[in-house]
Structures are given as structure tokens and as C-alpha cells.
Homo-oligomer: A and B are copies of this chain.
Amino acid sequence: MRIVALAGGIGGARFLRGLKEAVAPGDEITVIGNTGDDIHLYGLKVCPDLDTVMYTLGGGIHEEQGWGRTDETWSIKAEMKEYGIGPEWFGLGDRDFATHLVRSQMLSAGYALSQVTEALCVRWQPGVRLLPMSDDRVETHVRITDEEGTRAVHFQEYWVRLHAAVDAEAIIPVGAQAAKPAPGVLEAIAAADVILFPPSNPVVSIGTILAVPGIREAVAAAKAPKVGLSPIIGGAPVRGMADKVLAAVGVAATADAVALHYGAELLDGWLVDTADAAVTAAVEAGGIRCRAVPLLMTDVAATAGMARAALELAEEVRAS
């Protein structure tokens, strides 16, 4: 079975770890990763979501933190502070820097991001085929208004420096309109037996992937059952600040509103947490099959259970 998953960072990566446990031997997982949160720092290209997937599935992630490397050191960050060079609010550890150095050197040599990602995965052996959504530069910016006035800031600045404490007025995936899907992305979607929407941020993670012209259309046209898992439980994001960016696109932070935001064009099935069992009827009224199952990724076993429920719902869709 060929499974395609669209994934953001921490939530997506953790779900994928469960998915790997849930699939049968021989099943192939292709991950289409968000690159809208990429950022250029110190002349290097940093791809936080791709790296979070790669490190999580490859055994190098800092488990408690959810991002960055285990056994990390922070010498470069300390030195940059001494040199007076920011941003201080962004945490790049020394081990993580090595990945960005390798990536940036390969990009400078003319390799595409998808080729670089494949090369990095030779080391990490994530057990999935990891494709960036696009080889072209896309950077999600967020329009805000604060004492400095109305302006657009990089998503990382909004998320990491400002902790999403100010309202997001608009989410702008800069460059997305001109971006092309990376090689293999449309082919993987078309050939998929199941397409999954992990509990990633529906706006700045999966929404950005879908903003690359051709990807949304390919998912909509795909014959495979498409099943998603709600990142919202009981009216709040399980982690992160998805409610802030959902508000920017006029979507309530509820499990049913997110499903209906994707819509029946993109989703055949939707899993909500048992705490949200009451909303299944509203989702089904939108033409999307909905089941309530435990959705907290407390450990790999629980996450594998979620993945199994998603695959079962996909089979139910297929059989219908």
C-alpha cells in the first residue's frame, strides 16, 4: 500500500512515527513536507519542518522539546551573541547547524532541495520517502499590528519570538503562487492508495503545502481515500498556537470547523477526539465521514492506534 501524508513539524513528525508502527511490512510512506517555515539565517537555509520529520523518524530528535537535536550543544549561539548577531530568539544548536551547513553547501553547488533532502536522509534513514512540497523558495509571513504598526513578519518570528501573542491578521505564503511542486509530489499523490492529513497545523503547515499550485488540485483529484486527524481537541490546539492562525483565515478553533475548512473536496474522512464526539454529526453533514477516537499522541503506541484508526476509516471509505 502506498500512503501519502502531508506533514508539518512536531505534530506531523510524531504522527508519522506512529504511522510507521501501524503500517504493514512492504507499505510505502511518502511524506510531503511543509517548507513554508523555512528561514535563512547566517547565510544558511534552515528547514525546520523537514528536519523535525527527519530527526524524529531517524532517532535524532530532542524528545521533550520536539524540535532540534538530542545531546545538543550551543556554542555557536553563544558566540553569535558575543558577535552581537541575532536573532537571539531563534534556537539553532551546533549539531543542527551541521545539517544546515550540509544543506546550504549542496544548494550552493546546484542541487535542488528535494535532492538535498534525499541526501540528508541517507544518513537519517527515516523509513519514509521525504519530499519537500517544493524546491522553490516559499516563506510564510504573518501580518500583525502592534506598537510598531502593521507589518508582515516571518512565521518563525511570529511563532518563536512573539509566541503568537498578537493576533494574526493574515497568513501570506510568500512565493507560493510561483512555486512548483517538487519532483515526485504530484506523482505520489496520484499513485497513492491512501492520503493522510496528520494533526498538523491546518493553516501554516498543511495549508501552505496546499497553497503550492497543483497540490490541492492533485489531492482533490486523487482516487485514494483521504483521511485527516483533528489537531484541535476540545476547542484548543493540542500543542502550538493553531487557534491564532485559524482565526486569521476565519476558521473557528474547533474539530468540526477545521474539517469543514478542508472540505469534502479534500477529505473523505475525519477523526476527532472522543472529547469532540458531539461534532461528528456536523462534520458528516459536510459530506465527510467522521469518527471519534482518542487523539492524544501520548506515546508511540497511542499514536499508532490513531494511525490505525485513520487507515481503517480510509478502508471504510474505499469500501463504500
Contacts and interface: CB of A to CB of B under 8 A. Distances in A.
> Chain A binding site: helix, strand, loop or mixed by DSSP?
helix
B42 A102 contact: yes
A27 interface: no
A44 B97 CA distance: 13
A166 interface: no
Specify how many copies of this chain sit in the oligomer.
2
A76 interface: yes
A98 B123 contact: no
A308 interface: no
A93 interface: yes
A298 interface: no
Interface string A70-89: 00110110111011110000
Given A42-B102, A104-B43, A73 B85 contact: no
A108 interface: yes
Interface size class of A (residues with CB under 8 A): 20 to 34
Interface string A96-117: 0111011011001000000000
Given A76-B95, A76-B98, A93-B75, A123 B82 contact: yes
Given A42-B105, A73-B75, A73-B94, 4 more contacts: A43-B105, A76-B94, A79-B98, A80-B102
27 contacts: A42-B101, A43-B101, A43-B104, A43-B105, A43-B108, A72-B75, A73-B73, A73-B75, A73-B94, A75-B75, A75-B94, A75-B95, A76-B97, A76-B98, A76-B101, A78-B95, A79-B94, A79-B98, A79-B99, A82-B123, A83-B98, A83-B99, A83-B102, A83-B120, A83-B123, A84-B123, A94-B97
Interface of A: 42-44, 72-73, 75-76, 78-80, 82-85, 93-95, 97-99, 101-102, 104-105, 108, 120, 123
